[in-house]
Every structure is written in structure tokens, then in C-alpha cells.
Amino acid sequence: TCGPNLPGSPPVPLSSCGSTLSSLAMGAGSVPARYLVYFQYLGTDFNGVAAVRGVQRAVGVQNYLEEAAERLNSVMPVKFTISSRTDAGVHALSNAAHLDIQRRSDLPPFSPEVLTEALNTHLKHPAIRVLQAFRVPSHFHARHAAISRTYLYRLATGCPRPDRLPVFERNRCWALQADCLDVAAMQEAAQHLLGTHDFSAFQSAGSPASSPVRTLRRASVSPDPASPFVLPEESRQLQFWSMEFESQSFLYKQVRRMTAVLVAVGLGALMPAQVKAILESRDPLGKHQSRVAPAHGLFLKSVLYEGLGKRK
């Protein structure tokens, strides 16, 4: 096998690796080499992951990645094709992208390890880090080949005002003014969202998706361990919670809208059965769908790949 093998993800069998490597050996550096790159970022300072073109003051994570790649002296400009777009303020524990690098004909392709180190050396923003790189076939596509994406949403209860949240947790969770959540009711409500449905009721305007049908494989709510950034005298009031959602792909702001509705259930503003009615309404403008969970509590946790091309 070759390709991504991050902790918790299966190895990726690539039937075409042998032929790809053979062709590279015959003409090292004469054709572009394609890489899959995993990277992480704190989204607070960015207008999302996608590059912002033109003279706007806003900037995306992709801008910094491509700026770092310019220092690699590729014959052709390097463009990152992002697997999963995230909005302004959203973080990523692990996002992914593919890129092509064509070196001069007298130079061999970068090894994945050298590419990772070089990109990190040239990155000019401390909130971005390249985790790992892999050689992949030239037909590989980081967005289309993903078989699973998992998002994590972090909540905090017992915080009467946002300024009472420890500074190390600000912009990393949604601080609710409630003292507790009815987690059992949230878990019951989440069951209505599992499976294949038309998720139009949880889609924000501006979605480029051609179909609102998605398959939600997992939706969980669980208490988090005590945050290491909370002082002991504060930990008696503050409680942190994690919500996770897994699907092959999501609609625009679908996770944040589902989070907001499930939090409403946890706070007693909605009954679990009403979530099924909201889903079946297919109406994104309904009374209970108007709220979207804040971006700063959301993390893209993982993007997984399996069989690229035919299996051996």
C-alpha cells in the first residue's frame, strides 16, 4: 500500500502506485508529482480555508499554503485543491489538499518528508501547520476521493458570560449560559438525523451542492474531560461537551445548523420529535432553523481516504 496512513485511518491501497513510480523513475522531475497533504489550523484569523483572491484585506489558509509553496521553485505555479472547505473562524485538526509540483528536469521529485518540512519552514502564519504529505497518482483528487469527513463541535456550560470563559478556551468552543444540557434528549433527537435524507432544512443559502441528499453516518453527544486550561476553582461550574458528525460530505453550514437545533433540544426549547419534523419540512427558513451555531466551536476533525483507483 501507499498513500495516507494517519493514526486512526486505514492504509490506502493504490493499484497504480507501481506504474506511477516507474514512470517517475524513467523521467524524474520531467512531469508534475502529485501529493496529498494534511494540514491543521486555528481558524480565528482567517476568512475560511479557501484562498481569497484580489486586493481584499481578508485572507484564507490556502493563501498562506500557496505562498509557502512558491518557495519550492516549481516550474509551474502550485495550487492547493482543498478537500473540505471551512468558513471564517472554523478550525481544522486535520484538513487535506492535493497539489502538483513540477521540478526542473534534472531534479528528482521531493520526498513527502522533505515537502512537509519545506512547507512548514516557509509558512508565515503560526496558526497553520502541515502534518504529513504522501505521493499519490496524478488522477487523485482530494475532494472527490474522500470517503469520510468528521466534524467536532465543542460546547461549554456553566459560563454565565462569555468573558468568564478561560482565555485559552475562547474562540474554541460555544459557551452556553445554561448550567447543564439534557444530553439524553439530544442523543434521542440526533437519531432522527442519522441515515440518508434530504437535509434542505439544515442547508444555508449559497450552497454549491447539486443535491441536498446526504447520508449522516454518526451523530454523537458526550461530555469532555475537564479542560486542562480551567483552574480547579472554576472547573466545578464549567463543563465541556463534544458533538461529532460523520458523513462522506456535508451541505453548506449543515453541521452548525444541526448543532444549533440539537442544542435547542438540550436546553429544553425543542422536543426530540420536533427535530424529525424539522428535517421532513425541508424548509431552511423555518422558525427553529434560523439559528446557526457559532463558527468558533467547530473543528474539521478528519478526512479519510480509501481505495484510490482499482484495488489490487
Report yes or no: 210 and 293 within 8 Å, Cβ to Cβ: no
Residue 145 and residue 136: Cα distance in Å, rounded? Answer: 11
| Binding site members | 151
- Our answer to whether residue 106 is catalytic in this structure is no
**Of 45, 87, 163, 198, which one is the catalytic site residue?**
87
Give start and end residues of each alpha helix (H) in 81-157: 112-122
Phi, psi of 78 (to 5 degrees): -95, 125
Contact 3, 308 (CB under 8 A): yes
Paired strand residues for 133: 37
Q: How far apart are CA 197 and CA 208, in angstroms?
A: 18
Contact 43, 90 (CB under 8 A): yes
Indicate left, alpha or beta for 171 from its phi (over 0: left) and psi (-120 to 50: alpha): left
Q: What is the Cα–Cα distance from 281 to 278, expressed in whole angstroms?
A: 5
User: What letter does residue 44 receive in the DSSP assignment?
Assistant: G
Quick one: residue 91, left, alpha or beta (phi over 0 = left, psi -120 to 50 = alpha)?
A: beta
**CA atoms 172, 188, 195, 254: torsion sign:** negative
Residue list for the binding site for substrate: 151
- What type of residue is 296? H
Sign of CA dihedral 241, 245, 246, 249: negative
Contact 167, 173 (CB under 8 A): no
**Is residue 185 within 8 Å of 192, Cβ to Cβ?**
no
Closest C-alpha to 87, from 167, 175, 206, 218: 206
Which residues are known catalytic residues? 87
